[in-house]
Structure 1
Amino acid sequence: MAHRILRIDSSIKPEGSISRQLTDDILSRLTQAHPGAEVTSRDLGADPLPATDGHWIGAISTPAAERTAEQARTVALSDSLIAELKAADTVVIGLPVYNFAAPAQLKTWFDQLARAGETFKYTETGPVGLVENTRAIVAYSSNGTRFGSDIDFASGYVRQMLGFFGITDVQFVASDHYAIDPASSIKAANDGVAKIAA
């Protein structure tokens, strides 16, 4: 069976995005190691998902047979996003840091995925993720918010959400000081890409 890769970009920059460059590089490394890999791509920056709201929670809370046509479309989109995630062997996520946190459009993707009984379940000992045998590689990019620093509220959030869904094999590649020293920031990221076990 072909290796299945889900690529998620979330930069709002159509050109000159470091996180997109890194997801390109990561994808290239993975597809070289897995010829014939099946790649599914979502560009959340260019094609944002609808935010979760009262209509969304009402739609997913309504039994399928009782949903309106609009509710059915809302749930179908969420279902398709969940199916993409569950089908993936590897998820590659572009994580540009905006104002010390993950982009709103990436959070919306996680919000669309976070459904009890689909990507996680509640147990007596706490929530358990339902996405199995999947790993994630995250391309972290920032002009000056250092990866793992006290002001980095992006990487911990992404790691937490992935873990909540059951994805605990998570690797970060970081270009985290581009505005300060572009050359060394990109070199650090490229070194990280080179170390990825394909």
Structure 2
Amino acid sequence: MNKILAIHGSPRGERSHSRRLAEAFLQVWQTTHPDAQLTRREVGRAFIPHVSEAFVAANFYPEPQARPLAMQADLQLSDELVGELIDHDLLVFSTPMYNFGLPSGLKAWIDHIVRMGLTFDVTQDSQGIAQYQRLLQGKKALIVTSRGGSGFGPGGEYAAMNHADPHLRTALEFIGIDDITVIAAEGEESVPEAFRRSSDEAERQLRDLARTF
């Protein structure tokens, strides 16, 4: 595993805590793996179009190898994102939690890469029941996230309201990526000192993880 893909979901630049923490991880990772390849994909500050009617029609065209040129164009970015995902062994996501969910750019990225016949497939058993095949096996993922409030992690008071990193985890597991680590910093909008401690602990964990990831 010597190719890592970093996907940044925050629309903020240097003010983004999730981006800063992920970059701290990547800095150590690159030092530990000087000959490895790092690719960055911006989905927070770059426009990722949401799914359209044309996209859906092209995606579910009955003969994928015979899609008209116009439909191929509708899937061009999606094909690029899927190819990029397939080509990398390790994935690092940085994302804040916005209003209990993911930023729209990262949600759009998910919609582009969950593609039947490319990242998952569906067959039917002898009784006609759908059987899902997860096509992306053997990859590892790290989700680095920041949350304005506290208690949104597993077992926390507000865990049931967290539809951000659990959503991303569900999408990744559906296509076959189930070796997933989540590291979070919480409390940015509550107690500044508590958030500083949470952020420092998250960065420590990330720097340690980078040496073995």
Q: TM-score, normalised by structure 2?
A: 0.85
Larger radius of gyration: 2
The aligned amino acid for 1:140 is T
Q: Does structure 1 residue 147 correspond to structure 2 residue 156?
A: no
Q: Displacement, 1:64? A: 4.2
Tell me whether 1:173 sits opposite 2:183 in the alignment.
yes
Aligned to 1:121: 121
Give the aligned partner of residue 96 of structure 1: 96
Match of 1:185 in 2: 198
Name whichever of 20-29 and 164-173 sits farther off.
Answer: 20-29
- The structural deviation recorded for 1:192 is 2.0
SS at match of 1:128: strand
Identity of aligned residues (%): 29
Opposite residue 20 of structure 2, the aligned amino acid is: Q
CA distance in 2, matches of 1:170, 1:195: 16
CA contact (8 A) 2:186 2:195 kept: no
Gapped runs of 5+ residues in structure 1? Answer: none
**What's the counterpart of residue 158 of structure 1?**
168
| TM superposition shift of 1:12 | 1.2
Question: How far does the alpha carbon of each residue in 1:25-46 deviate from its partner, in whole angstroms, 9 at most, with x for none?
Answer: 1211221221121111111111
- Is residue 11 from structure 1 mapped to residue 14 from structure 2 by the alignment? no
Alignment-derived partner of residue 57 in structure 1: 56
Q: Distance in 1 between matches of 2:65 and 2:12?
A: 38
Query: What SS does structure 2 have at the residue aligned with 1:150?
Result: helix
- Partner Cα separation in structure 2 for residue 66 and residue 195 of structure 1: 47
Is the 2:14–2:20 contact (alpha carbons within 8 Å) kept by the matching residues of 1? Answer: no
Equivalents in 2 of 1:97, 1:118: separation in Å?
A: 28
SS of residue matched to 1:95: strand
The equivalent residue for 2:112 is 112
Contact 1:26–1:92 (Cα < 8 Å) also in 2: no
Q: Please report the TM-score for the alignment, with normalisation by the length of structure 1.
A: 0.91
- Retained in 1: the 8 A contact 2:24–2:207? no
Runs of 5+ in structure 2 lacking a partner?
A: none
Q: What SS is found at the alignment partner of 2:41?
A: strand
Q: Is the 8 A contact 1:143 1:177 kept in 2?
A: yes
- Say which SS state the counterpart of residue 189 (structure 1) adopts: helix
Aligned partner of 1:81 in structure 2 is 81
AA aligned opposite 1:142? R
Could you report, residue by residue, the CA deviation over 1:73-103 in whole angstroms, capped at 9, with x for unpaired residues?
Answer: 2222111111111111100001210001111
| Local SS of the residue matching 1:98 | coil
* 1:74–1:40 CA distance, 2 compared to 1 (3 A): farther
